[in-house]
C-alpha cells in the first residue's frame, strides 16, 4: 500500500469507483487512481470534493489528511472502521 500526495490545485472526484484528480489548469492531464492500493491521501493544495468522493474514501477505508501551503496540519477525514463481526 502506498501514500498518495496531492500538490496541485484541482477537483477530487469519484469516477467508476476510482479517484479522479482533475487539475484546475486545463493544460495538465487528469489522473485516475484506484484506491485499492492506497493507504492514505495527503493533500497540500487547494482541492474541491463532494460527498460522493468522501463515500469512495470511506468505502476504501482511505483516510485523507489536509495540510496548509506551509505544511501545517489542518485536519483529516477518517473513515469509520467497518464492523468486522458481521
Contacts of 58 (CB under 8 A, 6+ apart): 79, 80
The confidence score (pLDDT) of residue 69 equals 86
The confidence score (pLDDT) of residue 83 equals 66
Residue 84 to residue 45: CA distance in whole angstroms: 35
Residue 43 to residue 6: CA distance in whole angstroms: 5
Which domains are seen in the chain, by residue range?
Answer: 2-77 (3.100.10.20)
pLDDT profile of the chain (86 residues), mean per 10: 92 91 91 91 95 93 94 94 65
For 16-51, the DSSP string reads TTEEEEEESSTTSPPEEE-GGGEEEEEE-S-EE--H
Amino acid at each position: 500500500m502506498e501514500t498518495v500526495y496531492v500538490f496541485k490545485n484541482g477537483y477530487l472526484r469519484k469516477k467508476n469507483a476510482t479517484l479522479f484528480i482533475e487539475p484546475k489548469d486545463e493544460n495538465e492531464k487528469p489522473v485516475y487512481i484506484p484506491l485499492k492500493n492506497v493507504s492514505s491521501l495527503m493533500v497540500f493544495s487547494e482541492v474541491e470534493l463532494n460527498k460522493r468522493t468522501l463515500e469512495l474514501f470511506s468505502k476504501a477505508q482511505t483516510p485523507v489528511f489536509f495540510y496548509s501551503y506551509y505544511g501545517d496540519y489542518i485536519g483529516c477525514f477518517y473513515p469509520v472502521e467497518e464492523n468486522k463481526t458481521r
